[in-house]
Amino acid sequence: MEIGISSFAETTADPRTGAVMGHPQRLREVVEEIVLADQVGLDVYGLGEHHRPDYASSAPAVVLAAAASRTDRIRLTSAVTVLSSADPVRVFQDFATLDGISGGRAEIIAGRGSFIESFPLFGQDLDDYDELYAENLELLLAVRAAEKVTWRGGHRPAIADRGVYPRPVQDPLPVWIGVGGNPASVVRAGTLGLPLAVAIIGGMPEQFAPLVELYRETGRRAGHEESSLRVATHSHGFVADTSQRAVEVNFPSMQVAMNTIGAERGWHHYGRTSYEAARSPRGALLVGSPQEVAEKVLRQRADLGIDRFMLHVSVGTMPHREVLRAIELLGTEVAPVVRAEAAARV
């Protein structure tokens, strides 16, 4: 059972001061977070890709590479790579380079992406959303499988027996499929035998059990070994020494971030009632003391049979010292409990 962190390197307005952090400062903070996560024994750190002013990370592989030489064990992954609007050859090269620098610790979580800013930025048409994703995933896996590639698709120039370098330390370089609940994406992951990363940011995690079972059943029917059909979940949350402290620190930034995105997408206002409902024992939000967070991670493992859990810290802008403390508690108090309980229940 692996435990880790994910982040989007948020630079939303500070709910307490209204100040907006510069991207350089936030990127340096992310590197500090990764270094600490490694030191306290966490297994993985994932960094998302966004192309808008309230997020600092448009190039996750570069940030992860900055941390690679300062860490020893932690795995370094995108969370997610927006593959629909990216060049799959370049994605592979970036993460193969990261894999070399880190000594074989790089991963890619490939997803469609729930934000669309990258499409006009890179000259892609949103009408081709589904075709681009399917085609780019095919090419990414072809580049991963062979040093020299011959490939033709409908949206990118063809490749005729060309080598792609550098080659990674890991063979194959791990590629996960990131999903938010789309059954077609789940079926694709199972058919290809790729591990699945499920974003659970609303509702109840147990509601995702049918999707996870669909993935595993599809994988089994496609002839893949059960051991290759790994499942990770990703949920918003925060850990503090006490439940009260966790809420005091987390809620203001969470509210600002959710209402900022909500205004763009037509969501209802996110207030304390919504927050507390999500923080309830069966809700998707993991905010509380180490014991409370450990219990909710173990509930996800029991309900979904997950192999990896990633806590998204932070949602919105939070004091850096508080984020570092949350990472420390996740590694030193939450993770040991979860691993011990998971091992005992095997």
Q: Tell me the C-alpha distance between 159 and 148, whole Å.
A: 9
Tell me which DSSP letter residue 55 carries. Answer: B
The answer to whether 46 and 78 have CB atoms below 8 angstroms apart is: yes
The per-residue pLDDT for 119 is 95
Single-letter residue type at 301 = R
Q: Classify strands 159-163 and 148-151 as parallel, antiparallel or unpaired.
A: antiparallel
Under DSSP, is residue 233 helix (H, G, I), strand (E, B) or coil? strand
Of 64, 35, 18, 19, nearest in space to 323 by CA: 35
Q: What is the pLDDT of residue 196?
A: 98
pLDDT tens digits for the chain (346 residues)? 999 999 999 999 999 899 999 999 999 999 999 999 999 999 999 999 999 999 999 999 999 999 999 999 999 999 999 999 999 999 999 999 999 999 999 999 999 878 999 999 999 999 999 999 999 999 999 999 999 999 999 999 999 999 999 999 999 999 999 999 899 999 999 999 999 999 999 999 999 999 999 999 999 999 999 999 999 999 999 999 999 999 999 999 999 999 989 999 999 999 999 999 999 999 999 999 999 999 999 999 999 999 999 999 989 999 999 999 999 999 999 999 999 999 997 6
pLDDT of residue 163: 98
State the pLDDT at residue 113. Answer: 79
* Predicted local confidence at residue 245, as pLDDT: 98
pTM: 0.97
Q: Which residues contact 233 (CB under 8 A, 6 or more apart)?
A: 197, 198, 199, 200, 205, 208, 300, 304, 306, 308, 309, 310
